[in-house]
Each structure stands twice: as C-alpha cells, then as structure tokens.
Chains A and B, each alone.
Chain A
Amino acid sequence: MTYESNKAIDANSITIDGETVPFDAGQTIMDAALAAKIHIPHLCHYPGLTPAGNCRLCMVEMNGESVAACVTQAQSGQQVSSNTPELNAARLAITQMLFVEGNHICPSCEKSGNCRLQAMGYYLGMLEEHFHQFNPRREIDASHSTVLLDRDRCILCDLCVRASRDIDKKNVFAIAGRGIHARLVVNTASGKLGDSNIEENDLAAKICPVGAILIRERSFDSPVGERIYDRRSISDTALTEHVPEKEVDRG
C-alpha cells in the first residue's frame, strides 16, 4: 500500500453534502463545517462557547441518523447531509415554532434587521408562522440602567447563560423550569437584572441572537438598509462569528 492511499484512509475527514471536510480530534461536525466555511444553520451555537444543543436548527443526517451537528463529535467516515429540502423543511418548522412560542412583532422590535431568528426566517424562506400563536405573558425587566431584558422575545437559546457563566464569570442568567414552563431567570435574590453585576460590555449583554437582551438607548442605531441582515444572509455572517479572543483568554 502506498503512503498516499494510507493517508487517505487515516485522514480525519467526514463528508458534508458530498464535500470532504477535514477535522481535528475533539471537533464536532459543526466545528469542522465552520472551519471549512460550510454553513449548517444554527441559533443556539456560538463558536467559542460550549455548545448546548437546544435549538435543533443544526439537525443533520449522519449515516442515516438525525443528530444535532453542534453537539455531535466528528468521526472519520461520517457521511453528513445538511442542505437538503427535507432538513430545511424541518428547520423551517422549528423556526416557525420559535416565533409562535414567543411574542415576536418584528415591525416594533429594536432588534429587527440585526436579529438572527428573523434572519433564519429569511434564509429558510418563511412567509408565515403556520402554527397557532401562544401569546405567552412574560415579564419585562427594566430594572437595570443600561441592559434591558424583554422576555417576550427570548428563544431560550442559553447563549447569555453560557456567556455570563463561562466568559464573563458572573453567572447572571439561568434557565429555570422545563419544557413549556422553561423561562429565563436572573440569579439575584430579587430576580431583577438591576441587582446583578451585569455590564453593557459583558458578552452576555451582547450575545443575545434576538431582541430579548438589549443595550438601552442603542435602539434603531442603524437605519433600515444598513442593518446586518439588510445586506448579508445569515448563511454568510454565521461563518464569521466567534467569541473575541481576548474574551476567551479572560474565560
């Protein structure tokens, strides 16, 4: 056997939609895809943070089995399909469920144009929400001077929880309850953000993919036409996101 063919067999590689993608030991399918600049749709994953696997947008078919790419280790020989009509239809349904479970009125939302849930809707061609709206009644927390928490739009992605705990080292947020009763809580005696030590430059204050955690007095900063997803698709921006290195060092 020649050296070349040996190398091919031993190489750490998987295929994604037919394309050969190398990976390093310990990487997930999502890590390998992102390194190869392949977009697997995701909302609760943010490179640089430990994956949580809770939104299920990154669902792929791996050797005939459905798995979440952000929490599945890459292993040699895996054949992964991601960009298929079936998977994108499932992702569309998940996105629609995320919309109806919360209170999302994009025309009146400060995050509109910069929102990853909305951008996912655009990417998947969502024209309507399909399911009955839940109209949940959730608490707004306006107790902090610079950071606002509007739970109406929270999709329980857990990014703020991980960012605050692992990077900011403040542990400001947690998700309490399970299933339909799950909700975002603030880890203070009063349960209020104003009594926490969160600051507007914390990663947890900036990482929310939707308009649930907002920096006050910064709303509508960029005019329509100049917002992130006015110009680019989430399939493009998602390839460039990473927790800033200095924050990882801090973490």
Chain B
Amino acid sequence: MAERKIKIATTSLAGCFGCHMSFLDIDEKLVLLNDRIEFNRSPFTDIKQCSPSDIGLIEGGVCNADNVRVLREFRASCAILIAVGACAITGGVPAMRNYFDLRECLEEVYLNGTGVTNPQIPSDMELPLLLDKVYPVQEVVKIDYFLPGCPPSADAFLQMLVPLLDGQKPRLATDQLHYD
C-alpha cells in the first residue's frame, strides 16, 4: 500500500504572498515532494476550511479579527505549525503601523491623506475588525518552528520540510538564517 501522504495546509494572514511564491520556487523539487505531500486548505488549492493536517505553514502577521480566527483554526487542525517569514514572526512591514495609533492611521489614509475624495473611514459588516497593533503569530497561538526570511529562500523551505516528512526535527543552516 502506498504511504499515506503528508497533509500540508498554508495560509497568508497579513502578508504579501511572497513567502508562498518563494515556496513555489523549489521548482522541480515540488514534483518530487508531490509524491509525499498533498495540500489541504491553501491558496494553492482554494480549499476554504482547514481539516486535520500534519503541517501548517503560516505566512503573515495578525492584523485583524479574521487573521485571529484563521490562525486559531490552523492551530486546532495542524499537528505542527510553522511561522514562515518576517511578517509572521515579527509583524514585519505591516507592523510599521504599530508606531501610530490605529485611529491616526485610519484618519491619515481615509480622511486627511493626499488625494482623498469622499472622506470616510470604512465600516462594513464584511470588513474584519482591525486589531490595535499587528502581532507576531506566536503572540496568539503556540508555534512549533520558525522559518525567518523576507522571504525564506526555496532552500530554506526544503530544509524545514524534508526532515519533517521523515519525522525528524528540522534545523535551519546558518547561511539560511536571515531576517530580510
């Protein structure tokens, strides 16, 4: 009987999808991985709900209530949760708003900014509520492994995933450790 495929779920919270792009940069190795993994909820599959998975990859920090919900769903469903990239791990570029009050940011963008017409701060049921700050994911749920980088290189993804597929603890090589 064929070996059960390892289920991987991925999501982008307050991120730019750059980490997902970098993951796809593993190119032809993705074909090799494909024999051993299958994607669950992920922008790659368009599955909207996370069911039990072996590994979850989180890109992006936590900036709104919906991010919190998705992140908790991932923690509840994934045996191993990995924070991927600078934004997930530190808040990253979106966290530049942390040095201002949320109201100041909204007023600057929607009321007082250059070129604003029909000034109003959006408030629609459909829009997730913004948090006061952008938070690293480990401030909200327990994270098992960290994969820093903006984005982490394709090789760094492999260094993280391949040992996990073999049931081993991954360790990032020193030359793969970077925060940018």
The CA-CA distance from A53 to B86 in the complex, in Å, is 31
CB neighbours of B177 from chain A (8 A): 122, 125, 127
Evaluate whether A107 and B174 lie within 8 angstroms (CB atoms) in the complex, with A127-B148, A128-B83, A152-B99 already known. no
Contact of B99 among A103, A107, A109, A129 (CB under 8 A): A103
Contact of A106 among B99, B133, B146, B180 (CB under 8 A): B180
The CA-CA distance from A124 to B17 in the complex, in Å, is 28
Tell whether, in the assembled complex, residue B95 and residue A105 are in contact, meaning their CB atoms are under 8 Å apart.
yes
Number of residues of chain A lying within 8 A (CB) of chain B: 24
Question: Does B55 have its Cβ within 8 Å of any Cβ on chain A?
Answer: no
Tell whether, in the assembled complex, residue A137 and residue B99 are in contact, meaning their CB atoms are under 8 Å apart.
yes
Tell whether, in the assembled complex, residue A122 and residue B83 are in contact, meaning their CB atoms are under 8 Å apart.
no
Tell whether, in the assembled complex, residue A133 and residue B98 are in contact, meaning their CB atoms are under 8 Å apart.
yes
Residue of A nearest to B88 (CB): A128
Q: List residues 89-136 of chain A with CB under 8 A from any CB of chain B.
A: 103-109, 112-113, 118, 121-122, 125, 127-129, 132-133, 135-136
Evaluate whether A132 and B146 lie within 8 angstroms (CB atoms) in the complex, with A107-B92, A122-B174 already known. no
Tell whether, in the assembled complex, residue B96 and residue A135 are in contact, meaning their CB atoms are under 8 Å apart.
no
The dominant DSSP class at the A interface is loop
Question: Does B136 have its Cβ within 8 Å of any Cβ on chain A?
Answer: yes
Contact of A127 among B92, B93, B133, B146 (CB under 8 A): B146
CB neighbours of A104 from chain B (8 A): 90
CB neighbours of B95 from chain A (8 A): 105, 133
Residue of A nearest to B98 (CB): A135
The CA-CA distance from A109 to B146 in the complex, in Å, is 21
Contact of B86 among A107, A113, A137, A224 (CB under 8 A): A107
CB neighbours of A106 from chain B (8 A): 86, 150, 179-180
7 nearest A-B pairs in the assembled complex, by CB-CB distance: A107-B150, A106-B179, A127-B146, A135-B98, A112-B180, A106-B180, A107-B180
Binding site for B on A (CB under 8 A): 103-109, 112-113, 118, 121-122, 125, 127-129, 132-133, 135-137, 152, 224, 233
Between A and B, 11 residue pairs with Cβ closer than 8 Å are A105-B93, A106-B179, A107-B180, A113-B180, A118-B180, A125-B177, A128-B83, A129-B89, A129-B90, A136-B99, A224-B180
Binding site for A on B (CB under 8 A): 83, 86, 89-93, 95-96, 98-100, 133, 136, 138-139, 143, 146, 148, 150, 172, 174, 177-180
